[in-house]
């Protein structure tokens, strides 16, 4: 025999279940939306030269602590130093014990204050200086790892966040002889802003009018967009909107003019 009271309780629970699930998931969803993005832009450097990479942030509101480590290939890059450190820190506050092995630790936590900090988008956390000692015409990564300092981020409400880390691809180019100046017929700028959440723009510089083709793919090679047009000599711009991208992630913009082919990495974030 069915008990009407028990049936009513079960029915009410089933009706309330979606709301309960939503409430349980809501805090983690909010935390994910506020997670910072820590990134390094790509760079092209000359063999034997020293260069600087900025470690930058976006979506950095109310952060209580933040930690991560950089890593690079010591056969290709040599550590020179670090400066331009934000949040009142200096080089002594970073873990430089393992830089000869290609690792640098970063830890921000103000023991004298419990107040979280917020940084504007594109703020530089610090700048690392390296020397390109590897052979020319090769790419190497300057990325993120969890040694010697574990990756970690906590906001002012003591929520543990999961930052997005975007590594830099460094291209080592051949030294240019002062007796053989190189004039390029076709130049493609890095995308700006990059990473981006709304739109990004790439600038083309042409010395003469010519046919330019470009295509946008994901990292797996799936083609999303393709176009070709004749551009006049001078400066032209290509703007890509968030609707051109399937989902947040890394994409490749491939641009070709004549025999020259240039790739640019794009980082779409929410």
Domain 186-268: CATH architecture, name and number where available: Sandwich (2.60)
At residue 234, φ and ψ (nearest 5 deg) are: 115, -150
d(CA 103, CA 196): 27
- Tokens coding 240: 């890509």
- Residues 138, 167, 75: CA angle, nearest 5 degrees: 40
188 exposure class (CB count in 10 Å sphere: 0-12, 13-18, 19+): buried
Task: Name the nearest CA neighbour of 129 among 156, 155, 160, 104.
Answer: 104
d(CA 106, CA 96): 9
Q: Is the pLDDT of residue 40 over 70?
A: yes
Does an H or E element contain 12, and which?
helix 4-33
Given this model, what pLDDT does residue 29 score?
Answer: 39
pTM of the predicted model, to two decimals?
0.61
Read off the pLDDT band of 32 (50, 70, 90): very low
Per-residue pLDDT of 180-230, as tens digits, reads 444 567 888 888 998 899 999 999 898 888 899 999 998 778 889 999 999
Given this model, what pLDDT does residue 249 score?
Answer: 86
CATH fold of the domain at 37-173 = Immunoglobulin-like (2.60.40)
d(CA 153, CA 109): 10
Find out whether 47 and 175 touch, Cβ atoms under 8 Å.
yes
Only one residue has tokens 């793919």, namely 217
Start-end of CATH 2.60.40.2550 domains in the chain: 186-268
d(CA 242, CA 11): 43
Q: Is the pLDDT of residue 165 over 50?
A: yes
- Tokens coding 199: 């739109």
Length of the chain: 270
Query: Which residues are CB-contacts of 47 (< 8 A; sequence separation ≥ 6)?
Result: 132, 134, 135, 136, 172, 173, 174, 175
d(CA 264, CA 240): 13
Omega cis (within 30) before 128: no
Q: Which residue has the higher pLDDT, 163 or 185?
A: 163
What is the pairing mode between strands 123-132 and 50-58?
Answer: antiparallel
Query: Which residues are CB-contacts of 90 (< 8 A; sequence separation ≥ 6)?
Result: none
Start-end of CATH 2.60.40.680 domains in the chain: 37-173
């Amino acid at each position: 025999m069915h008990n009407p009271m028990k049936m009513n309780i079960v029915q009410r629970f089933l009706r309330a279940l979606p709301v309960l699930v939503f409430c349980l998931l809501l805090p983690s969803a909010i935390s994910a939306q506020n997670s910072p993005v820590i990134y390094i832009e790509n760079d092209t450097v000359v063999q034997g030269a020293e260069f600087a990479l900025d470690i930058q942030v976006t979506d950095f509101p109310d952060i209580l602590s933040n930690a991560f480590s950089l890593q690079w290939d010591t056969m290709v890059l040599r550590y020179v130093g670090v400066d331009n450190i934000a949040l009142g820190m200096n080089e002594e506050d970073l873990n430089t014990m393992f830089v000869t092995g290609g690792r640098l630790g970063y830890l921000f936590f103000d023991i004298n204050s419990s107040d979280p900090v917020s940084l504007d988008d594109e703020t530089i956390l610090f700048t690392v200086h390296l020397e390109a000692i590897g052979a020319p015409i090769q790419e190497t990564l300057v990325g993120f790892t969890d040694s010697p300092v574990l990756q970690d981020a906590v906001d002012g409400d003591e929520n543990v966040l999961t930052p997005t880390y975007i590594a830099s691809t460094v291209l080592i180019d051949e030294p240019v002889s002062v007796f053989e100046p190189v004039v390029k017929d076709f130049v493609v700028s890095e995308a700006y802003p990059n990473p981006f959440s709304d739109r990004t723009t790439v600038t083309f510089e042409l010395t003469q009018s010519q046919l330019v083709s470009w295509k946008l793919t994901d990292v797996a090679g799936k083609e999303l967009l393709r176009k070709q047009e004749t551009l006049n000599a001078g400066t032209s711009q290509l703007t890509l909107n968030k609707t051109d991208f399937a989902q947040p992630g890394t994409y490749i913009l491939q641009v070709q003019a004549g025999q020259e082919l240039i790739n640019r990495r794009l980082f779409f974030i929410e």
